[in-house]
A and B are shown apart, each in its own frame.
Chain A
Amino acid sequence: MRRNGKPLGARILIGLAHAILLLGAIFMVLPMLWMLATSFKPAPETALWPPVLLPQAPTLANYTSVFETAPFARFFANSMGMSLISTASVAVTSLLAGTVFAKYRFPGQTLLFGLIIATAIVPFESYMIPLYLQLNAIGWINTYQGIVLPTLFMSFGIFLMRQHVASAIPTDYLEAARIDGASEWWILVRVIAPLSVSAFSTIGILAFIQAWTAFIWPLLVANNQSLFNMEVGLTVFQFKFSTDYSKLMAGSVISTLPMLIVFMILRRRIIESVALTGIKG
């Protein structure tokens, strides 16, 4: 009833808005659908003109041959392992440093915190050359530890944990525990950590996405195929099979799927977390 009461101009405007939203949504999903459809096509079908959206003779052969021609299982395991290590390390270092910045006082504190936050704006790409030389000097190039090292702490994680501990955990709690004879470590593990679940999940999601999508650094540091993550593995794979799009799309689907599944499960949480900060593209 209310809508009918609106003037014609407003109704046209609303209709137009819906049309734009729908068109935009199609534009958003089309590349993914095209990727998915192509991955099920036998190779000759990718050279059809006019192109057909759906595979005419759907096949899983592309998926099996992807695993045969490149160690995708290995790439996947590498991505997963390195992302989990990075996430765990970011969570721990953020909890420790964030708590200290929030609840303790020591000389140089403000300066140090400011430095950690301010340097986050400096693009990683602009200091990757000296970092490479540093790791080269200690023999960490072409090693797992060399690849994960830059993702082991996150300025934003420290920032977020500091904000959380400062605002959501009353200092009285800590004082009460101290009067009962608790050590600072006990307070950290038994009082602060359990009260920081929401901050942990936000930091964890961001750290995981950042590590999973890492590209330029693994590309530089990993020379052995056995150390490649999904992103680098797929890139090298595409240079080898640059014309075989049905296989390439199968590989692309495999490396997109984990992120999509995680996204579907944690949709709201991820959108909130990402809205809090920038993830690097």
Chain B
Amino acid sequence: MTFCYLALAPALVLFAYVRVVPIVESVILSFYRWDMIRPLKPFIGLRNYEQLLSDENFLLALKNTVVYSVATVVISTLLALPLAVFLARKGRLAAIYQTIYFLPVITPLVPMAIAWKWIYDYNYGLLNYALSFLGIGAVPWLTDPDIALWAVIIMSIWKVLGYNLILFLVGIRNIPEHYMEAASLDGASPWQRFWHVTLPLLKPILLYVLVTATINAFNVFTQVYVMTLGSQAAPGQALRVLVFDIWQNGFQYLKMGYGSAEAVMLTFLVLGVTVIQFRLVRHQEA
């Protein structure tokens, strides 16, 4: 028995100190006006939450984060699924494609965000050059917040596509061969086979992809910070997403209680969306 506790101790101490305590503490902090620079930190009940609901920055961040998450998750899933079907048959070419599509997943986010910033450059960027052939004038990709949202979405789809692809590929390759053969013998077209055999069997993987992609999308920060912040990290025209807003309230304005209330909202949002996705996919199975 002592062995059990001694062996568990390192993981448990870390788990408690780095995760459990701060999670509980963030809920507690959210009920206080806890400003770093003020000596008095009074208990104010739900006032931080009430204030958030009429805070323009928060509402904008919420809207942007939801649009970003829905667009990134839906588009990357819809693109990855047919690509996985194309690549399902094993072979040299499939392996090469698999590696290429996976490259963005493995590359660190900061340097790639900078590379994309260069592609999106207003004056000399590759993208505006390509668009000029289509007769489209220069687009201010990163300086107009509404467009910047889509610039970040495109970059993020590029980053996560390969991850979703690999998961779908694993799922499709695990479907027993005879299911497909039976469907073919019954005269099912490729489209029918996909719709009635592949997709239903892929549901657990689809759920996993949706959940992980959504959780990651709601926490988007790095590419937003790197690509849309001005020089010297001035948050002038930055694209406002939830984690950015939490970061700004907590660490620039030093309003730790207010930032924590916002963080608690983020957690509930992530949990809520996850539960809904579970329900939806389960429901369709029944």
Contacts and interface: CB of A to CB of B under 8 A. Distances in A.
A185 to B, nearest CB: 7
B110 A21 contact: no
B170 A125 contact: no
A234 B114 contact: yes
A275 B84 CA distance: 14
A34 B129 CA distance: 13
Given A47-B124, A93-B14, A259-B107, A123 B158 contact: no
A157 to B, nearest CB: 9
A125 B111 contact: no
B216 to A, nearest CB: 5
Contact of B15 (A28, A116, A184): A116
Given A49-B124, A94-B11, A129 B26 contact: yes
Contacts of A169: none
Contacts of B251: 129, 132, 220
B48 to A, nearest CB: 12
Given A126-B267, A131-B22, A150-B18, A28 B104 contact: yes
Given A215-B222, A234-B110, A271-B166, A34 B22 contact: no
- Interface of A, secondary structure class, is helix
A123 B219 contact: yes
Contact of B112 (A10, A31, A209, A279): A31
Nearest to A92: B10
B264 A126 contact: yes
Nearest to B231: A242
Interface residues of B, number: 93
A147 interface: no
Contact of B216 (A35, A238, A267, A280): A280
A133 B256 CA distance: 9
Nearest to A47: B124
Interface stretch (B53-61, B143-151, B242-250): B242-250
A216 B3 CA distance: 37
A158 interface: yes
Contact of A252 (B17, B99, B115, B163): B115
Contacts of B216: 278, 280-281
A96 B121 CA distance: 50
Given A25-B101, A51-B126, A216-B247, A231 B3 contact: no
Given A27-B158, A112-B12, 5 more contacts: A93-B10, A133-B256, A213-B108, A216-B247, A275-B167
14 contacts: A31-B104, A49-B123, A122-B270, A123-B215, A125-B219, A125-B246, A130-B29, A153-B18, A234-B111, A255-B110, A256-B108, A267-B99, A275-B167, A279-B105
